[in-house]
Amino acid sequence: MQDSFPINPRHSSDDQATLSLRDILHVLFSHIKLIISLFILTTLIVTGALSIWPETYESSAKILLTGSRSNVPVSPLPASKSQVITTSGLRAEAINSEIEILHNYHIAEQLIDRFGMDALTPPTVRPVTQMEKLKAALKKFLRDAKEILNEFLYTLNLKKRLSPREATILKILKQLEVKQVPNSDVIQVSLRWNRPDIATAILDTLLEQYLDNHMNARKTPEAYPLLKKQVDLIEERLKESDAKIRSLKQKLGITSIDDRASFLDKQLSQLESSLVDIRVATAQTTGKLSGIRSQLQTTPSSIKKAEIRQLEVRLNELKFKERALKKQHETYRVEADRLNKHSAELKRLKRQIPVDTENAKYYRTRLEEARINELLDSKGIINVRIIAPPRASMEPVKPKKLLLIYIAMAISLLVGIGLAFISDFFDHSLRRGSDVKKHLGLPLLASVPEL
């Protein structure tokens, strides 16, 4: 039945919910050519595109970083034991520093200088078969199209024109991946290239250049003499400070400035208190003596004269003691002034000695490290080890051809089925005898079979 009607009674709202499996299969089989054609066409296009898509291989290596150059016995300094440098792990900053050294523009430049631009470009193979010629023609067409697009972008100043050397450096940096292996001091270096042998050779050269840069960056041949000079200066300053302290103590005739200062303060305080008492007693004796002398003028008495003699003797004793105490007080005061005069210098020297002692200890440690580093540098020993040399993948990491073909096949089937249902939805014709009664409610009188 091939008649068509101006209306579309087949897709009324009452019938949409009663779509049966038979109807679904009818739609699929009625559009089987469309589905199969789209499936085959998509598969062929994707397969053809993947056949000219350049393959990318990955070469990777692993580097172990140690905290220092360990397990290397070195000859000791005089009066010290042989030392072994050990490590207990690295900080994240140290590992990130090594990652930045590996992944930078300068090391890529050095890589090209050592490897050569020509070695990075694979040789062109002359096509022999018709299929190879077709692939070569398609690749050439795509390259030309890309160059035309780039020229257009250069003209509009939307893209910067790079020299072949600069473009190769940026390509290396883009394809180079450097990352830390989780929870370890290991760095994984990976490089993707269109040929596995070239990828391995590039990565091997890059690691050699990195090791050279690493050693040169940490090689400080002038460090040991500078540190030795600094240690000598600090030790000389310590000796001078100690000699000055001993000289001042000998000059002052003391062993402890603090104890002597405390003793002098105590003695001066006692002498001042004694002088006050003597002056009070002297004043009392002088007043009493003046009173007795006044009485003696009005009433002469032998007893009063004897008492006056006793008071005069007492007054002379007090004056003698006062002179002695003043003299002793002056002696202590002079010594205290002299002690205070040198006290600031002594305190400064005492404060400087612990500082210089700590500095000397620090620089001695650094001096020993510099001595060990010079010895290890002379032997070519560094704290970086390649634990896994560069090795390329056996199969290309990109593109995943089978995966992409399977995805394309699945998508083409889904799109074909979707187009079949869309086409059937917008189709207004009645193709089976049962459609007449089902959708129009009319009996079928006759049908003409297909010839």
The answer to whether 388 and 190 have CB atoms below 8 angstroms apart is no
This prediction's pTM: 0.54
253: left (phi over 0), alpha (psi -120 to 50) or beta: left
Tens digit of each residue's pLDDT, the chain (451 residues): 444 444 444 444 444 445 678 778 878 888 899 899 999 999 999 998 888 888 899 999 999 887 654 444 444 444 333 333 333 456 777 788 888 888 888 888 888 888 778 777 766 778 778 877 787 888 888 888 888 998 888 888 888 888 888 888 899 999 999 999 888 889 999 999 988 988 999 899 888 888 877 776 666 666 667 777 888 888 888 888 888 777 777 766 666 666 777 777 888 888 888 888 888 888 887 887 777 777 766 766 666 677 777 877 887 888 888 888 888 888 878 877 777 776 777 777 778 788 888 888 887 887 777 776 665 555 455 677 888 899 998 888 988 889 999 999 999 999 999 998 888 777 666 666 666 666 666 676 666 666 5
Phi, psi for 17 (deg, rounded to 5): -80, -10
Q: Which domains does the chain have, with CATH numbers?
A: 1-53+408-451 (no CATH), 224-378 (1.10.287)
Q: How far from the centroid of its chain's Cα atoms is residue 127's Cα?
A: 51
Do the strands 57-65 and 186-193 form a parallel or antiparallel pair, or are they unpaired? antiparallel
